Amino acid sequence: MLLDASESQLVLIDFQARLMPAIFEGSQVLGNAVRLAQMAQVMQVPVWGTEQNPEKLGPNAAELRGLCRKTLAKMHFSAVAEGLADWLRPPVRATGGNARSLPKHLQKPQVETPDRPTLVLAGCEAHVCLLQTALELIEQEFDVWVVTDACGSRTDRNRDAAFDRLASAGAELVTTEMVAFEWMRTADHPAFRELQALIK
């Protein structure tokens, strides 16, 4: 199974400027997150951000925040608890009816499926906010792909433990370059040179 750009959304979790200096290999992690967001824009993949307790930890790094459609301020470690899944699903469409329609209490509830059910996640800290958000998104039946080289924790042990747990829960583990080349699929893609320049 390969990533499909037309079915993908990118979620960037808590890349806050005050937090990043404490993250193991933080500058590389942030650099890959910025590349992901730039690639997503080229490929017309929606980009969303979250910020943990921004009153205390401040906003996401400016170069990243500007690439997000919207940024969710949160206090829960899982962004799902603060309404992230609602952002990721299409708006509910009103259903039309006529005089012959069944009364509302007899109609089957309509289950909305996301137009873009594949979620590409990156963020900090991998073993806390990223992990809890990803696990709850999997529970809500999204396809979750975690970009390992764009995730970080204060220690590599915590980061790696998160990856083990995510893989066991059904998340796909990928890298920034894997995302780029799977979104393009071919060297003939019109965005090939632009994405290749971002990767190098």
- State residue 52's pLDDT score: 97
Q: Any idea which fold 5-89+114-199 has?
A: Rossmann fold (3.40.50)
CA dist., res. 107 & res. 101, Å (int)? 9
pLDDT digits (tens, 9 = 90+) for 99-113: 455 555 555 555 445
Q: Which of 90-94, 130-134, 149-153 has the lowest mean pLDDT?
A: 90-94
Among 9, 33, 29, 32, which residue's Cα sits nearest to residue 20? 29
CA dist., res. 172 & res. 143, Å (int)? 8
pLDDT digits (tens, 9 = 90+) for 46-66: 999 999 999 999 999 999 999
CA dist., res. 22 & res. 118, Å (int)? 30
Taking the domains of the chain in order of start, what are their residue ranges?
Answer: 5-89+114-199
pLDDT digits (tens, 9 = 90+) for 165-177: 999 999 999 999 9
Residues 96, 75: contact at Cβ < 8 Å? Answer: no
Among 68, 71, 88, which residue's Cα sits nearest to residue 136? 88
